[in-house]
Amino acid sequence: GRHTMAIMPTGSGKSVLYQLPALLLPDLTLVISPLIALMKDQVDNLAAKGILNAGTINSLLTLVERRKVLEGIRMGDIDLVWLAPEQLRNTTVKNTLKQRELALVVVDEAHCLSKWGHDFRPDYLFLARFLKEICNSDHETPAKLPRIACFTATAKKEVKEEIISYFARELGKTLKLFEAGHERNNLHFE
The answer to whether 183 and 13 have CB atoms below 8 angstroms apart is: no
CA neighbor of 31 nearest in space, from 97, 78, 83: 83
- Taking only the tens place, the pLDDT of each residue in 91-147 is 999 999 999 999 999 999 999 998 877 788 889 999 999 999 888 755 555 557 899
Distance in angstroms (rounded) separating the CA atoms of residues 32 and 108: 6
- Taking only the tens place, the pLDDT of each residue in 29-77 is 999 999 999 999 999 999 999 998 999 999 999 999 999 999 999 999 9
Which residue type is seen at 115? K
pLDDT value for 180: 84
- The answer on pLDDT for 79 being more than 70 is yes
pLDDT value for 144: 76
With bands split at pLDDT 50, 70 and 90, how would you rate the model's confidence at 80? very high
Distance in angstroms (rounded) separating the CA atoms of residues 169 and 11: 31
> Which ranges in the chain belong to alpha helices (H)?
14-24, 36-48, 63-75, 91-97, 127-134, 157-171
pTM: 0.89
pLDDT value for 116: 79
Backbone φ, ψ for residue 80 (5° rounding): -140, 115
Residue with more model confidence, 175 or 190? 175
Triad 161, 97, 94: Cα angle to 5°: 75
